[in-house]
């Protein structure tokens, strides 16, 4: 791998990492489906394994999105290594905050994501993603206010 190819590949994989988080948060099916190879596997500990773009959409539509009114992911600590010119692996951490549908209370989830990426025909996509949950915690006594609430005129 040349230095330029390594940098371009690193940027493409960082975009995949972000695209997955953005797609789930913004409920963007097209973005979510576009980041997986047909033979990819996405496993969420305690929930199951989903295959390919269709599996990712099934997981989002039938598990993740029905779980939250809204959510936001914060991804960090992404570390990438290239196994070969067309294969990479990575590990990153994610913090999710959201309002759950069940009980309409805020929840905090933290996960570690070990990932595998493949480049085929010069395009990088996920070939494997595992979600290893550290915490799945309701935040008792808190409520996430809707956006704009802090900008209301005083006395409102």
Q: CATH code at 86?
A: 3.10.450.50
- Please state whether the predicted TM-score (pTM) of the whole model is above 0.85: yes
Read off the pLDDT of residues 34-89 as tens digits, 9 standing for 90 and up: 999 999 999 999 999 999 999 999 999 999 999 998 899 999 999 999 999 999 99
Q: How many domains does the chain have?
A: 1
- DSSP per position, 96-156: EEEEESGGG-EEEEEEEEEEEEEEETTEEEEEEEEEEEEEEEE-TT---PPTTGGGSPTT-
Annotated catalytic residue 105: no
41 is a domain residue: yes
Read off the pLDDT of residues 105-131 as tens digits, 9 standing for 90 and up: 899 999 999 999 999 999 999 999 999
Residue 76 is part of which domain span?
3-151
Choice among 19, 25, 58, 93 that is catalytic: 25
156 is a domain residue: no
130 is a domain residue: yes
Choice among 15, 38, 58, 73 that is catalytic: 73
Annotated catalytic residue 25: yes
């Amino acid at each position: 791998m040349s230095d330029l190819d390594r940098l371009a590949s690193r940027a493409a994989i960082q975009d995949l990492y972000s695209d997955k988080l953005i797609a789930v948060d913004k409920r963007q099916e097209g973005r979510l489906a576009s980041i997986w190879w047909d033979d990819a596997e996405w496993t969420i500990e305690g929930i199951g394994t989903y295959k390919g773009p269709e599996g990712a959409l099934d997981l989002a539509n039938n598990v993740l999105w029905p779980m939250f009114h809204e959510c936001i992911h914060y991804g960090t600590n992404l570390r990438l290594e290239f196994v070969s010119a067309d294969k990479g692996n990575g590990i990153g951490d994610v913090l999710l905050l959201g309002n759950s549908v069940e009980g309409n209370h805020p929840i905090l989830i933290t996960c570690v994501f070990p990932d595998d990426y493949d480049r085929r025909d010069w395009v990088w996509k996920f070939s494997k993603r595992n979600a290893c949950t550290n915490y799945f915690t309701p935040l008792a006594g808190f409520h996430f206010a809707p956006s704009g609430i802090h900008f209301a005129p005083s006395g409102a």
